[in-house]
Amino acid sequence: MKRAIRAIAIFAVAVAIIAGGALYWANETFKNSGPLKADSIVIIKKGSGLRRIAEVLHDAGVIRHTLLFVAKAKWTGAHRDLKAGEYEFVAGIAPAEVLTTIRDGRVVVHSITVPEGLTSHQVAALVNAASNLEGELGSVPAEGTILPETYDYSHGDTRSGLLRRMIAARNAKLAILWQARAEGLPFTNPEAAVTLASIVEKETGTTAERPRVAAVFINRLRRGMRLQSDPTVVYAHTGGKRALGRRLLRADLSVDHPYNTYLNKGLPPGPIANPGAAALKAVLQPAITGDLYFVADGTGGHAFAKTLQAHNRNVARWRRLQRKLRNSSKLPVVPLPRANHDNTRDVIVR
């Protein structure tokens, strides 16, 4: 009897030692470096259960022991919060860190940048070409309804969902800027402001100039003058669906189209692009000037004028600079930029 009791005791001790050793091994293995040889991307699909997740990690070389991973996830309760997505694991990552990463949903974050001044067709093409997004866009959103900026997204997000975020961002920004608008503007609704902002966006890429360019167009609207903006004529020819592919010609200015601001007074029927926040702000809080004209000054900016006479001098100065550039073998020939002008005199710069 004593021998039996002794044997049982020895067996119990052995079992305890083995169990303790196993537990020690499990804990050490789980918190120490894993088998992954190089940084790797792993995608956990939606609807994957704990065992399937462990198998995916094992097949990708991230963990050695699927049963250990499953047991630890259940023991800690992490199995209830594991999230699908795209994960990047560094070489040698410990299984414990793998589990924490998936539990916390530390997915890979991608981003897409929508530059200011793109048309909605161009933005739609950009979103359709973006990787790690699902689904296709339906119809192209209305012109001017998207806010150009950088947007983050994760694997599995939808293209339509991302586009809705862009539209919501524009609506939110426009609402804030509209509330802070200057008094006496020559338009009475936010969408008209977007239309003018899209013209300003296409006329200058210089942030500091936008309020002054906006002021030129606002002053013209107040006086009943035509805006005479080249980008609106380009849009009349392309509808925002393609690039013009060539320089704008004098003959183009006579196209009979609602967007041709050389022929039609006031704003065009709608935006010609998607303006950024700076252009929207410039239109709603323009510079206070008497300027009615502007033309490129050769430095990347524009020369502004209050009178046609002064504007013609600026145009002549720009033409002299262009002739100098053409005649110099050391300087590149650059295309002649647009000039905003009154069509009662020949001051079109081409």
pLDDT at 18: 64
102-159 pLDDT, tens digit each:
999 999 999 999 999 999 999 999 999 998 999 988 889 999 999 999 999 999 999 9
Identify whether the C-beta of residue 126 lies closer than 8 Å to the C-beta of residue 102.
no
Identify whether the C-beta of residue 238 lies closer than 8 Å to the C-beta of residue 143.
no
pLDDT above 90 coverage of the chain, percent:
75
Classify burial at 30, counting beta carbons within 10 Å of its beta carbon; exposed 0-12, middle 13-18, buried 19 or more.
Answer: buried
309-330 pLDDT, tens digit each:
999 999 999 888 888 877 775 5
Within 134-208, where are the H helices?
159-179, 190-203
- Report which of residues 301 and 21 the model is more confident about: 301
pLDDT classification of 87: cutoffs 50, 70, 90: very high
The CA distance from 38 to 286, in Å, is 54
Mean pLDDT of 17-34: 74
Query: Smallest Cα–Cα separation from 69: which of 99, 41, 46?
Result: 99
Mean pLDDT of 293-308: 91
pLDDT over 60 (residue 343): no
pLDDT over 90 (residue 28): no
Measure Cα distances from 152 to 130, 148, 163, 168, 332 in Å. 12, 13, 12, 14, 39
State the amino acid at position 146 in one-letter form. I
34-67 pLDDT, tens digit each:
999 999 999 999 999 999 999 999 999 999 999 9
Q: What are phi and psi of 123, to 5 degrees?
A: -65, -40
188-232 pLDDT, tens digit each:
999 999 999 999 999 998 999 999 999 999 999 999 999 999 999
Q: What CATH fold (topology level) applies to the domain 31-107? A: Dna Ligase; domain 1 (3.30.1490)
pLDDT over 60 (residue 344): no
CATH 3.30.1490.480, the chain: domain bounds: 31-107
pLDDT at 29: 83
Cα dihedral value 198, 126, 133, 96, nearest 10: -90
pLDDT at 338: 43
**Helix, strand, coil in percent for the chain, rounding step 5:** 50, 10, 45
What is the pTM for the complete model shown?
0.82
pLDDT at 30: 82
The CA distance from 27 to 95, in Å, is 10
pLDDT over 80 (residue 337): no
pLDDT classification of 16: cutoffs 50, 70, 90: low
245-276 pLDDT, tens digit each:
999 899 999 999 999 999 999 999 999 999 99
